[in-house]
Amino acid sequence: MVVIGADTHKGTHTLTAVDDGTGRVRGSREIKADDAAHLAAVRWARGLDQDRVWALEDCRHVSRRLEQTLLAAGERVVRVAPHRMGASRKAEREPGKSDEIDALAVARAVVKDGVEQSPVAYLDQQAMEIRLLLDHRDDLVAERTRTVNRLRWDLLELCAELERSLKRGALNGARGLDRVDRQLRKLAAGARVTVAREQISQLRSLNRQLCQFQAELAELVAAHRPKLLAEQGCGPVTAAILIGHTAGVRQYRKQSSFGLQTGTAPIPCSSGQRTKHRLNRGGDRQLNHAPHIIAVTRA
């Protein structure tokens, strides 16, 4: 059997095939990131060995089209966590970094761990839509945070007492924004006042968009995995994180595999007669955030 590692980019993909038993390189090529080139890569792989598996680094935005083409063609595809590829590359005798070296590292990471230990990829369009909405919502939240910070700095110059009276999160709602806007209207016109009022308008627009995406996420999650919302401490956003970042729990063969991916599986650090474990700082940290919120809410 051969394992075909892929280093994916926006414009091109580099493929390297290695023998599953020895790790010896069987072939390598670079293809364009389009459907025709993806199908040509499938024909090339079928000429290497009848028994094969594709190993893709888990970068959904750049590897999604290749993954979909391979699955539609009936190919077997597994996902490799980015940190596994990095560890594999460090273990190589040849130093440095290139697309071919990265593709080889992806393939050999699967060979080292065993094909059966890697999460299996499969198509889940609903989970992808939830992930895209969630990512866009996160971008809006980050933009709102930046705008709030800029506004508070301007308020510190215009009216320090007003800025100090604002509690954390006060500018994330209409009541706090209305209060600040009324105070700004009483001040003499100037560039800083104009900028501050423009920032208030931006925050109102961002708040409306966030409410809209919150409602859309809740609707999609309720249709896709309603049982998640029934769990105590699991709201629409938390459920969306679990669905979007897991992309289908069927890819995990064991519960412990999912625990390792979420970073909730403890790491043994025993020595001699002492048996001890420490917190796992690895895994998908955004996915780790979801069970943390659920656990804190329940506690």
* 103 in the same domain as 129: no
Q: Is the pLDDT of residue 246 over 90?
A: no
Q: Is residue 246 part of a domain?
A: no
How many CB atoms neighbour CB 58 within 10 A?
A: 20
Q: Of the candidates 262, 225, 260, which has an alpha carbon nearest to the alpha carbon of residue 245?
A: 262
Q: Is residue 236 part of a domain?
A: no
User: Exposed/middle/buried for 192, CB within 10 Å: 0-12, 13-18, 19+?
Assistant: middle
Domain's final residue, options 98, 117, 136:
117
Q: Are strands 52-57 and 77-80 parallel, antiparallel or unpaired?
A: parallel
Q: What is the pLDDT of residues 160-216, one digit of tens each?
A: 888 899 998 899 989 999 999 999 998 888 999 999 999 999 999 999 999 998 899
Q: Is residue 231 part of a domain?
A: no
* 194 in the same domain as 96: no
Q: What is the pLDDT of residues 70-79, one digit of tens each?
A: 888 888 888 7
Domain's final residue, options 117, 149, 173:
117
Measure the CA–CA gap between 239 and 280, rounded to whole angstroms. Answer: 22
Q: Mean of the per-residue pLDDT values for the chain?
A: 84
* 146 in the same domain as 104: no
Tell me what pLDDT residue 247 has. Answer: 67
What the block records as the tokens of 137 is 């919502």
Domain's final residue, options 117, 134, 165:
117
Number of domains in the chain: 3
Contacts of 209 (CB under 8 A, 6+ apart): 140
Tell me what pLDDT residue 280 has. Answer: 80
**In terms of pTM, does the model score above 0.75?**
no
Dihedral angle, C-alpha 218, 224, 227, 231, nearest 10 °: -40
Q: Is residue 12 part of a domain?
A: yes
Q: Which domain holds residue 272?
A: 252-298
Q: Is the pLDDT of residue 144 over 90?
A: yes
Q: Is residue 240 part of a domain?
A: no
Contacts of 150 (CB under 8 A, 6+ apart): 199
Which region, left, alpha or beta, applies to residue 131 given φ > 0 means left and ψ of -120 to 50 means alpha?
alpha
* 131 in the same domain as 109: no
Range 108-137 average pLDDT: 78
User: Cα 76 to the chain's mean position, in Å?
Assistant: 22
Q: What is the pLDDT of residues 52-96, one digit of tens each?
A: 888 887 666 677 788 888 888 888 888 777 666 655 555 555 555
Q: Is the pLDDT of residue 115 over 80?
A: no
What the block records as the tokens of 77 is 């595809």
* 137 in the same domain as 68: no
Q: What is the pLDDT of residues 14-59, one digit of tens each?
A: 898 888 877 788 888 888 988 888 999 889 988 888 888 888 876 6
Of 90-104, 184-198, 235-249, which gets the smallest average pLDDT? 90-104
* 271 in the same domain as 208: no
CATH of the domain at 56: 3.30.420.10
Cβ 119 vs Cβ 250: under 8 Å: no
